[in-house]
Structure 1
């Protein structure tokens, strides 16, 4: 069978010196699922590698080339072409949630087609994929984490020089907004913190207060967000989502259901130290029922984060979820909470695949049928992040600008928080899902300095 998540762009690397003496499989046992052959590869005494089973399409009939080259010049049956990889069993079909598109930070492979599915099945939910796939190994951790931000740390950084530029931009009559944009859009968050400290040291003034006095509206909100440390900005956003009358539940979902364990624990600690409040208590005060329980589970920051997938457990969890929902009258909400709050994202992806085989229905579709309101949105956000996190944020950005008016706070929050993490991939998914670029939609929904700064962060 082919190796999901492999090869990198440009083909398989050579494996000189494989296998080590006495080793019984090639690659090492358990690594890429190539069947072991007694005696190892190549057979004792040399010669060529034996041919793969006829159905695998890999390697070419006649076996592997002699040691010293992998694959043989000219390729092998099913070999990836430049920029792509062959379909593999269980590959998602729907645009958005599945294999990332070719581009920076990815291996350069292409979205598999619908024909790559094993066994067919029901229609998918647009954008999220996930039906009747066969088991496949989780991709290597390095590929899972191959994300890229649009903002990188500036080379030859000088905090004092940047502080001086900002001071001149705000000094006297009027404000040079373009000079401010040029600095803040091209420095990492860590560098902005150093500029803020240098400004106070050099001028005895608080940079944030000066910026607030010179700016207003959305451009002010965007620049102030850029100068907040990332953890503080998340904690600040959660506090404002629960402060005063009403609760912005979608903000709670967006942050608590998508962050890593470490990020959540840092947010919880920052919330306590900066606002003197217990986030769990605030969640209990502002939400209720199964949604409250889901968010309380999320803010523990105890999700399993191992990259190894236990397919037996995925099968058991899928059966458990089916029996808790589609397979009975009524819904056992606590079962869904337990599985979705504790399993790793790669494990959840395998569970989604197993569920499709058991229920003949996509798990996201089942959640649509079994839940409603905020708990439905929260559970789906977790699964969407397990399937394709950049596509989840691409969808959120699209809906922040779709229709009349713009949800500027959501637009700002996602652009800022993902700018150094995976905004490159979010842009790619946005184009794939909506047939227009993120920059194009931002340009049509915003104006003035606010538009210029957003576009500078997103990158053209």
Structure 2
């Protein structure tokens, strides 16, 4: 199943730009047309709308939106207006800048993007921040987790979708020998296999591991590792087994407990809106206890408010 946001079949960049300008003219801002325009076009079309806006009115659309909007609604609008890989680059920079590191954001982006996407992210990161992503990751992360990030940023995952049964059995055996059956865990072997093999291959490796041993790979990782490296490895297991479920769990975590992690919620919904959000919504529903299930829209509605809530709900249930 695809995402929830699609290209507008009746696309007219000039008309959309005019609607946005009129929404921001005069006293106050009319947020409803902004929501309708942005959520009824895909990202590529939004870039054309931004160009048409600049050509027609001599102003930068994103600058205009920033001057008119506030808080989480503004952040969601800017996320929607930013090309996907540039948005990833900026989110990675946000995660490693300032006091502390947002390891969950690093794990989410670095573990789920393709080789091609990572190459684009690295180029845009260099252009935007005048430093390489690898250098910043190396400076801001350390230990086993730092090595995981460096392994991932190289973009060296095998792209052959076919699974070789012999090689899968060999990798399952090597993971066991490097972890549960070793005098101390060989982290480099976990890195080599989890960061370089195709996810189809990894899924079969994990099945074989569970068939041949008294625990599964998830249990082995949980017993052998701790902290951020454990979270990173478990994320890779989740992604190999069911990527939409991985994102559904991330959305659930962003809205659990006291307060909502709005940065995570915005990034997750916007970045998957054109990719696999329909599948994520399905997984979100079925991952919950049978007697207490709610759809993702209901969760967002209970956690968010105002135009911010309306924007997210429209992304999840787009305008025809």
Shorter-normalised TM-score: what interval?
over 0.9
Partner residue of 2:217?
A: 363
What is the aligned length? 314
Q: Which has the larger radius of gyration?
A: 1
Partner residue of 1:92?
A: none
User: What is the SS of the residue equivalent to 2:48?
Assistant: helix
Partner residue of 1:375?
A: 229
Task: Structure 1: state its 5+ residue gaps.
Answer: 1-104, 106-147
Matched, 1:308 2:162: yes
Are the aligned partners of 1:258 and 1:381 in contact in 2 as well (CA < 8 Å)?
no
Question: Post-superposition shift, 1:329?
Answer: 3.0
Partner Cα distance (1:372, 1:431) in 2: 29
Partner residue of 2:92?
A: 238
Partner residue of 1:347?
A: 201
Matched, 1:283 2:131: no
1:4-403 alignment, distance < 5 Å: 105=1, 148-403=2-257
Structure with higher helix content: 2
Question: Post-superposition shift, 1:339?
Answer: 0.5
Are the aligned partners of 1:211 and 1:220 in contact in 2 as well (CA < 8 Å)?
yes
User: What is the SS of the residue equivalent to 2:195?
Assistant: helix
Partner residue of 1:405?
A: 259
Question: Post-superposition shift, 1:156?
Answer: 1.0
Question: Post-superposition shift, 1:360?
Answer: 2.0
Task: Structure 2: state its 5+ residue gaps.
Answer: none
TM-superposition CA deviations, 1:385-433 (whole Å, max 9, x none): 1110000000000010011100000000010000000000000000010
TM-score, structure 2 length as denominator? 0.97
TM-superposition CA deviations, 1:318-358 (whole Å, max 9, x none): 11111111112321111101110111000000100110022
User: What is the SS of the residue equivalent to 2:112?
Assistant: coil
Partner residue of 1:444?
A: 302
Matched, 1:454 2:312: yes
Partner residue of 1:420?
A: 274
Partner Cα distance (1:208, 1:328) in 2: 54
Question: Post-superposition shift, 1:366?
Answer: 0.8
Task: Provide runs of 4+ in structure 1 moved above 6 Å.
Answer: none
Higher relative contact order by CA 8 Å / sep ≥ 6: 1 or 2? Answer: 2
TM-score, structure 1 length as denominator? 0.68
Partner Cα distance (2:210, 2:162) in 1: 21
Partner Cα distance (1:243, 1:319) in 2: 39
Question: Post-superposition shift, 1:302?
Answer: 1.2
Aligned-residue CA RMSD in angstroms?
0.8
